[in-house]
Amino acid sequence: MWFKKTRDELVKELNVNLLTGLTKDEASNRLKINGYNKIEMGNKTSFIKLLLSQFKDVLIYVLLAAAIITFFIHEYADTIIILLVVLLNAIIGVVQEYKAEKAVEALQKMTSPKTLVKRDGEIIEINSEQVVVGDYVILDAGRFIPADIRLIESANLQIEESALTGESLPSDKDASKTFQDDNTPLGDLANMAFMSTIVTYGRGEGLVVATGMDTEIGKIAKILDEDNDTMTPLQKRLDHLGKSLGFIAIGICVLIFFISILQKRDLFEMFLTAISLAVAAIPEGLAAIVAIVLALGVTRMSKKNAIVKKLPAVETLGSVNIICSDKTGTLTQNKMTVTQIYTFNKLKSIPNEPSDLSISKEEAELIKSLVLCSDATYSNGVSTGDPTEVALIVLGDKYNINKSNLNNDYKRLSEFPFDSERKLMSTLNVESGKYRVHTKGAIDSLIKKANSIIIDGIITPLTNEIIDNLYSMSNKMSDDALRVLAIAYKDLDNIIAPEEMEKDLTIIGIVGMIDPPRLEVKDSINQAISAGITPIMITGDHKNTAFAIAKELGIAQSIDQCITGAELDALTDEELSNIINQFKVFARVSPEHKVKIVKAFKAQGNIVSMTGDGVNDAPSLKYADIGVAMGITGTDVAKGASDMILVDDNFSTIVYAVEEGRNIYDNIKKTIIFLLTCNLGEVITILMAVILKWPIPLIATQILWINLITDSTPAIALGIDTGDNSVMSEKPRNPKDSFFSHGAGTRAIIGGVLIGGLTLFAFYMGLSKHGYDFTSNIILKEKDPALVYARTMSFVVLAASQLFFSLTMRNDKKTIFKIGLFTNMYLIASIILGLFLQYIVISVPFFANAFGVHNLGFNDWIMVLLLSLIPLTLNELLKLILNKISKKK
């Protein structure tokens, strides 16, 4: 705990001479012991490893097993088709996921390339990788901090740490301070400087106390490098489904074996039948279709400024019920903005884009003095310097009080720079042929230097009553989480020394500023809450500041819903998990706290999304179910650790992404239920034929054609169906819900029974037409005209009924006429294409011979199409009946 140690203790423990710094030999020895000052790379995922990872799926294992079996029974066409499906699934996954983790690499890039150090009594510039523990480092404005440093000298030193701590403003540093509390937040350690932050003002000197992976940034890199690849809800469901289908396929084979023994059938024939049934039980195209649906969803979302890095993350968004958001730069604009100015007894609110540019003389003088007493620059949206001063210059621009014009008209002659002890800054400028001092700073410091105030254009002596009035207004602004700055002046006939500037000042007024919320965020938060999602603010800022923003946005209503990092440290993981749902705002937190918070929410069964843009957000982005990084203000570290990137940095895009995620899940569920309904129909057809001792209505090749070609296009069309407008009025989906919840399983069984029964009926009609006696148990040859005709009838009815049934799968409650028959033209096109391909297969001799079918006559087509429409019609009638019953209730 280097922040606890005094300067003498520090020097002794690090064994360094402050006059000379380390010797070159000593630095070389320490470099050998501790290694280079850089972030170590984790193991990168190779292309081959990434490709192989796509095969770690139970459904894929089942498909590979089917491919092996079809190969050994010389059904090579089936083998090739199945392997192509497996390969297609892998390619889709690799294309979407071949974006290697960039987080640790980005951390490397953030380290400063050059550093000023004192060695052998000389100040030299070295590569930051060669900095070692004990090095005497010199810091000045604009320089990156090369390692974690305990400051030993500081002069008006301010360091921008927002990427690490989340604080909006640069932190004031004071080398003379020590901190005895082990749990002091990083943002409060005024005697420390941390790797990859940047000096914005002043100068400092210090000793390196940690390098490379031992720095605070290094700790983040270690967290990011940990393997935290957990399965998403969709992956878990598909894994469970794959296992279930695998067991079902095995069970069917065992069942067929026993039936063949009981019926004394030919074992090899029944083995082929068992394969047909196993093929029928498994939707071979499912894995590839789900990947395609997710990929299309990703493409659609990218057009709405949400880039998803990993396919399953799209669906997970639909389950999110907690959105943990970093405050600075995500909920807020990450730029200080003056929102109020106060001259005695006159408070003026400053809108973002003022429509009324009229201001009083005192207000104009207040803005003019603030702008002249600032060193920052701002032009065409580009700023340099302290964020507080940038806010003052922007304020001037709003009221046409331009800094560059003021600098030309009121030339600065000298200044008394800001000092953290005085908490003031003063400039001396030319004014109407004479001179004027402009002084800004903390109100308590300024009042001590003033003896008068402007009231209605008249310089009035400063009384206790006036001072109380100023403090009252200052406190009111502070209660609203505004940063308060006072401004004063005095006129002179002669130029004076800087030390004489801050005496007998005349107060003009005060201003209040804040990092304001993003304009569109409040509506997005309200929409999220109405969708059953709880927004959570996590920030490095102070408790009162965080609560003020949270209250304004509607995230929190009471200060009791806020907790600080220090309070989190007093709780065990289990204790925090038990009370985590009480809190909406987490203030003064470190990167480790953020991970702890996300883990606590997840421990309560929540699906957690974490949004952020800074380095400090990266670990929690990785641990969350969905990590969301900002695309514009986000660091490469945050982007590398995230699952999704917001191109426009707009919190509202997250809400859109959640809505899209919900619709994508619904579409995937529709696709899966549709495919399983079709497969159930196939299983029922074959199994019932076996039990009834009929010839087998369908062969494996025909089933594969339907599963991979006929069913696939409507399944994909269902996967890209237009979203349900009411999806965001529902609560988040329970991640434990299966695909068959809420009646989906029942609908699949009803549909499967209808499709299977009608297919079997078509087969019966086909054989009956050729005079087949079902009681004779005559074994028909494969080329027998009666069997070929009957199989053609069942083949076409099975395919067409599944195609038509896809229409009713669009919505489980609304009829196709209510949602619009032609509102999904992709589905209509896929049905037409499917029927056309079915016609080609039975009409073109080459294909007809391959599939064991032949052409049908006109009357046959009328019959099969009428039979095929029955499942669709009955299901739509069932919807109407159920809707009427629900309305009566």
Task: Give catalytic residue positions.
Answer: 326
The phi, psi pair for 509, rounded to 5°, reads 170, -165
Q: Tokens representing 866?
A: 């009428």
CA 703 – CA 685 distance, rounded (Å): 11
CA 409 – CA 426 distance, rounded (Å): 18
Q: 288 near 93, Cβ under 8 Å? A: no
Which of 461, 512, 490, 480 has its CA nearest to residue 343? 512
Q: What is the 3-state secondary structure (H, E, C) of 585-625?
A: EEECCCHHHHHHHHHHHHHCCCCEEEEECCHHHHHHHHHCC
As separate numbers, helices (DSSP H) first and strands (DSSP E) second, the chain gives: 33, 26
* AA identity, residue 568: L
Q: Tokens representing 174?
A: 């004071």
DSSP 828-887: HHHHHHHHHHHHHHHHSHHHHHHHT-----HHHHHHHHHHHHHHHHHHHHHHHHHHHHHH
Q: Tokens representing 445?
A: 């410091």
CA 483 – CA 817 distance, rounded (Å): 59
CA 842 – CA 766 distance, rounded (Å): 15
Sign of the alpha-carbon dihedral angle for 581, 587, 591, 593: negative
DSSP 56-70: --HHHHHHHHHHHHH
Q: 748 near 677, Cβ under 8 Å? A: yes
The residue length of the chain stands at 889
Q: 473 near 422, Cβ under 8 Å? A: no
CA 251 – CA 436 distance, rounded (Å): 94
C-alpha torsion angle, residues 627, 631, 632, 636 (rounded to 10): 70
From residue 779, alpha-carbon distances to 368, 422, 791, 854 in Å are 103, 104, 15, 20
Which of 634, 600, 599, 605 has its CA nearest to residue 617? 634
For tokens 């297609």, what's the residue?
A: 88
Cβ neighbours of 350 (radius 10 Å):
19
From residue 409, alpha-carbon distances to 367, 368, 405, 415 in Å are 15, 11, 6, 17
Which of 285, 289, 277, 284 has its CA nearest to residue 682? 277
CA 608 – CA 324 distance, rounded (Å): 7
As to burial, measured by CB atoms within 10 angstroms (0-12 exposed, 13-18 middle, 19+ buried), residue 357 is: exposed
Locate all alpha helices (DSSP H) within 459-572, ordered by sequence. 464-479, 521-530, 543-553, 565-569
Which of 256, 236, 258 has its CA nearest to residue 248? 256
N-terminal to C-terminal alpha carbon distance within the chain? 68
Q: Could you tell me which residues are beta bridge partners of residue 458?
A: 455
